[in-house]
Structure 1
Amino acid sequence: MNDKDVEIFKQRIRECERWMKEQGMVSLLVFAHGSNLGPATKSHGYMRYLCGWDGHQNDTALIIRPGNEPVLVVTNIFALYFSQSYFWIKNVRFVKAAALGSELAAMCGQREENRCRLGTLGLGEMPVNSWLALQEGIRGCEMIDAAPHFDELRLVKDAHQMRRHQQAAALCDHLFETLAAEIKRPRPAYQLQAELEHRARYAGAEFCMTWLTVGPQADYCRFFKEECERTPQRGDQVLLGIYLMLDGYWGHAIRTGTMGQPSASQQRVFDTAQRMWQGMLDALKAGQNLTHVHDAAEAALAADFPEDQERVFRFRHGHGLGHSYEDPVSSLAFPQHYDLDRSARPNVAGRAGMLFEIHPNLFVPGVGGAAIGDMVALEEQGYSILTSYPRHHLDWAA
Structure 2
Amino acid sequence: MATRKTIYLDNASTSAVRMEVLDSMLPYFIEEFGNPDSIHAMGKPGRDAVKRARESLAKMINADPDEIYMTSGGSESNSWAIRSAVTGPRAKGRHVIVSSIEHHSIINACEYIRKLGLDVTYIPVDPSGLVDPAEVERAIRPDTAIISVMTANNEIGTIEPIKEIGEVARRHGVLFHTDAVQAYGQVDIDVRRDNIDLLSASSHKLGGPKGVGLLYIRKGVRLDPLIHGGEQERGIRGGTTNVPGVVGFGKAAELALADMEERAEKERTLRDHLIGRVLNEIPYSRLNGDRERRLPSNANFSFDHIEGESILMSMNMAGICISTGSACASGSLDPSHVLLALGLPHETAHGSLRFSIPSDTTMEDIDHAVDVLRDTVERLRSLSPLYDDFLRSQKGEA
What range describes the TM-score normalised by the shorter chain of this pair? under 0.3
TM-score, length of structure 2 as denominator length: 0.25
Specify which structure has the higher proportion of helix: 2
TM-score, length of structure 1 as denominator length: 0.25
